[in-house]
Amino acid sequence: MEEKLKRLKEILAEFYDLYAVGMLLDWDQQVNMPPGGVEGRGYQSATIASLAHKTFTAAEVGRLLDDLLPYADSLDPDADDACLIHVARREYEKKTRVPAQFVAEFSQITANAMQTWQEAREENNFAKFQPHLERIVDLRRQYAEFFAPYKHVYDPLLDDFEPGLKTSDVQEIFSGLRLEQVALLKEIASRPQIDDSFIFLEYDEQKQWDFGVEVITRFGYDWKRGRQDRSAHPFTTNFGANDVRITTRVHKDNLASAAFSSMHEAGHAMYEQGVDPALARTVLCSGASLALHESQSRLWENLVGRSLPFWERFYPRLQQQFPVQLGRIDLWTFYKGINKVEPSLVRVESDEATYNLHIMLRLELEIALMEGTLLVKDLPESWNARMQEYLGVTPPNDAKGVLQDIHWSGGMIGYFSTYALGNLVSVQLWEKILQDIPDVEVQIRAGEFAALLGWLREKLHRHGAKYEPQVLVQRITGSKIDPAPYLRYLRRKYRAIYGL
């Protein structure tokens, strides 16, 4: 069996290398590539995606997995090799349902669509992006059919990002969450509003960049194994635990954007940098799921980065950088300003109390698109109507509405719910952290994050994708994904800020 396991690992390593090259092409397209390169990049991405798919779905891989499954069952279920074989089997069964030609076509179309989305957003022209999105929606429906029969057409798409979770599971979690968050928003709306105008003064872009770099360096982001660049939409990508890259965006008239984007993406990146090196170049060498990933980005962005102890340490430093804009703004005023609750148009710049409503809106639209009850041409109107219903605001244009997110252009229908699920998991983890590291807030106040990062490395990061997300969350916190801790956290936090 050792020889067969060795051979399986060799093939999986080859697949991972091809996958990483595909990710590198995508990173370059969003960071460096000139607009004229989009057609050629589409062909390149399609070729690499097809090669990777054929490598993983080769008949030899199936035979090796058939032979190795009894061996895996004889091992400790937590052993790396046992998890590797079982996860590889699961992925093999999924990938062999999807023709290589489909994978190549999907990769080419999305590479072209991403460039068109960026142009459409800049021009505020949904019609320019519409035919690309129509084709993507059609392809995602075709993809779902490869996995029929299913309970819901959205299930196969969700499973790509959140293994083991069903559409009904997410809808059940969100149904109670929505009611509680809307009630909290009404309470907050009854209180005097916070003045955060100081955030939207003019701030030097290089100083904003430098402050973000200083903060994430203290967090523990390893610059020897990463870098930061600018992109239209902040993201994290990795080509292995020793090359994990992030991007951010800097606005001269919005101090919060660059700092919190950098913290958010660093949370993703530190997760990848913390995966056990023994899992490198296998199906286990990345995060367990997108919700688990988002739990890390939101933990560092919000539970750390928007906390009072954090700013007790870092606000004086920020005031030094911007004495004219912040010199007369005291700490408590600043803290309230960065935590102001106000329904907004843009998801990535929304507050903690309204963020999940943005996600629920997108989830409902995606499900309707997949069911065929909503046509792509009607998406802007439906988007605006739901924004008004859920958040009480209507986008003035499509650039700040239906075109604001990059995900659909990349074919990532099935993804959005993981953002809200990640919020919930982040606080479940935080409650456990407070039990295990009672003085964690004291350490944050001192600018020390080693114990916090070490806890996350030990409990979560090192395991990579060995376990399904619900299993891993339960192992760490004692329960599956649960909205109750998040709701407790919001009420506690905003009770103090708004005097509820």
Cβ pair 130, 376 in contact under 8 A: yes
Catalytically annotated residue among 91, 93, 202, 265: 265
Q: Are 364 and 374 in contact (CB under 8 A)?
A: no
Listing DSSP states for 269-319 in one string gives HHHHHTS-GGGTTSTTSS-S-HHHHHHHHHIIIIIITTSHHHHHHHHHHHH
CA distance 339 to 352: 8
What is the Cα–Cα distance from 305 to 292, expressed in whole angstroms? Answer: 18
CA distance 376 to 379: 5
Q: Cα–Cα distances in Å, from 104 out to 112, 133, 338, 413?
A: 13, 17, 44, 17
User: Look-up: residue for tokens 């300003």?
Assistant: 337
> 3-class SS at 222?
coil
Q: Which helix (H) or strand (E) holds 483?
A: none
- Got the DSSP string for 68-86? HHHHHHHS-TTSHHHHHHH
How are beta strands 244-248 and 236-238 bridged, if at all?
antiparallel
Determine phi and psi for 298, rounding to 5 degrees. Answer: -75, -30
Q: Report how far residue 380's alpha carbon sits from residue 5's, in angstroms, rounded to the nearest whole number.
A: 51
C-alpha distances in Å from residue 238, one per residue of 50, 208, 266? 20, 24, 12
Question: In angstroms, rounded to a whole number, what is the distance separating the alpha carbons of residues 266 and 219?
Answer: 8
Angle between the 205-219 and 308-321 helix axes, to the nearest 10 degrees? 140
DSSP, collapsed to helix, strand or coil, labels residue 251 as strand
d(C-alpha 310, C-alpha 303), whole Å: 9
Among positive and negative, which fits the CA dihedral 171, 172, 174, 178? positive
- Annotated catalytic, 265? yes
The answer to whether 121 touches 404, Cβ cutoff 8 Å, is yes
For residue 201, what are its two tokens? Answer: 């003064």
Catalytic residues: 265
